[in-house]
Amino acid sequence: MLAQSIVWRRVTLFSLLVAALAWPALYNGQPIFYNDTTVYIRAADAGVQAALHHRTQWSLFGADAIEKEEPGIVAAPTEQYSINSIKDKNVQTGRSPFYGALLYFGEITGGFWLSIALQALAVLVSLTLVLRVAHIPIWPQLFVIVAVITMTTSAPFFVSFMMPDVFAAVTILAASVLIFMPHRLNRIDYIVCFFLLSASLVFHDSFVLIVVALLTSGIVANLVSRTWANWPGMTVIALALAMAGLAHTIFVVVAERVIGAAPVRPPFLMARVIEDGPGFRYLRATCPANGFKVCDFLERLPVSADEFLWARTGVFAAAPQETRRQISAEELRFVIKVVAYEPWGQLAESLRNVGAQLTLLGLDEFEYTALEKAVFEAKVPHEHLQRIKQSAAYNGAMPVAVFSMLNAATFLIGSIFVVFALSHWKQRLGAHIAAFLMGIVAGVLSNAAICGILSVPSSRYSARVAWLMPFAALLIVFALSAHRRSQRLE
């Protein structure tokens, strides 16, 4: 009876921690939407519709919508255009239908709350795993960690966000444990890491690149130390990467069968190097002789990457379907030519973007802008739209200014403390915890480099992993405390 009572108390406490991590959603009155949220949901909805012929109100929104008589179901405005259209046989990659499935599951179970609970659970499981593997007592340390990151960092905002960003931190934690502390893992730990990592990698392509960067750092560390004792962890990561590749292949094959054409990948990197300058200068100097289709749009350039990709006055979204495919297909060759044409100029711009990305830590995405409100009006079903209009994020009542400052402060203080601890207390921390901490640092830097170079620097990208640094600082405090206790016992 006593053992059962302890288990139930811990389950209750764990449930309370899940709720605490989702406090912004509770405060908002519903999980927090973003411009791309509807794309994820409709991607999963389209798959369910194709497989089971089951339509929902989400099936009827966007450019494919038709007028219906059911209450609350209204077609999108006719002037609205979309680059995701099953009817036009035009679907893009980059918005994972697998993450869409997580949201869709939350939708059919009521208001997306289950999706947010699962995101909070993924964070809690990751934190618990790290504490257990680091030989730090889970209780009450887990409670302290959750209390601190909930009240002072970006973590609960991204848990409450209907976007895959929260899994960037989960990816870094799981991969760092597998690479730098595998000797402390048991079979269950390996399985948990595999599922956390596999789910994260199919949710967004940037997480794959982060894992590749961490895996590369682990290989370099192995070569320096001349040991491959972490091969089981590396194997699990390789299997998770293989699962991500298989999932992407399945998506492409299914999309081809359903719509009759392969999905199109938006040319993010092409847009980035054009905005940076070297890409535009290359086009201006070599068009039309270089043979790139993007030369047809030279008079519209230069524009920002976002305008290039999505604006009516830009290039990609405004182009005919076949032209989009041509531009997407020529992206890699174009970027190689640009780097060869102006290598130092592009390197300087990329480094500047990475530096800018590291300094952007605000939480502006958690209050809806006028543009987002217009998107929601066009794409969100009536039932959800009415709740959105009553939410704190819609009415400017989310405490984003305060938490933006707290997030920046805890990130800076945590980063300084981690660097100081690795410089002065590495021996007391132990080689494996120190290596794990360096893995977190490498993951945060990789996230900034990948997002800064491949996309438009945005506070959303850095803020999604910023809470890892104060968590690392707390881990150091707990590890040093455990070290002192063990010395006293000796």
The encoded tokens of residue 55 equal 């339509």
Task: Please say whether the beta carbons of 217 and 439 come within 8 A.
Answer: yes
Task: Please say whether the beta carbons of 156 and 150 come within 8 A.
Answer: yes
Rg of the chain's alpha carbons, rounded to an integer? 23
Sign of CA dihedral 367, 383, 155, 349: negative
Closest by CA to 241, choosing from 262, 210, 271, is: 210
* Residues constituting the chain: 490
Residue 72 has a pLDDT of 34
Q: Which residues on neighbouring strands pair with residue 161, listed in sequence order?
A: 32
What pTM value is reported for the model? 0.90
Which parts of 53-204 fold into alpha helices (H)? Answer: 97-108, 113-133, 141-152, 155-159, 166-180, 187-203
Euclidean distance between CA atoms 377 and 74, whole angstroms? 10
Euclidean distance between CA atoms 46 and 59, whole angstroms? 7
Euclidean distance between CA atoms 130 and 127, whole angstroms? 5
Residue 11 has a pLDDT of 77
Complete DSSP assignment for 220-254: HHHHHHT--TTHHHHHHHHHHHHHHHHHHHHHHHH
Euclidean distance between CA atoms 77 and 377, whole angstroms? 10
Residue 290 has a pLDDT of 93
Residuewise pLDDT in 10s, the chain (490 residues): 556 666 677 778 888 999 999 999 999 999 999 988 988 888 788 777 777 777 777 775 444 433 333 333 333 333 334 555 555 555 666 678 899 999 999 888 888 999 999 999 999 999 999 999 998 988 889 999 999 999 999 999 999 999 999 999 999 999 999 999 877 788 899 999 999 999 999 999 899 999 999 999 989 888 888 888 888 889 999 999 999 999 888 887 877 777 766 778 889 999 999 999 999 999 999 999 999 999 999 999 999 998 998 888 889 988 888 899 899 999 999 999 999 999 999 999 999 999 999 999 999 999 999 989 998 998 898 888 999 999 999 999 999 999 999 999 999 999 999 999 999 888 888 888 999 999 999 999 999 999 999 888 889 999 999 999 999 999 999 998 876 776 665 5
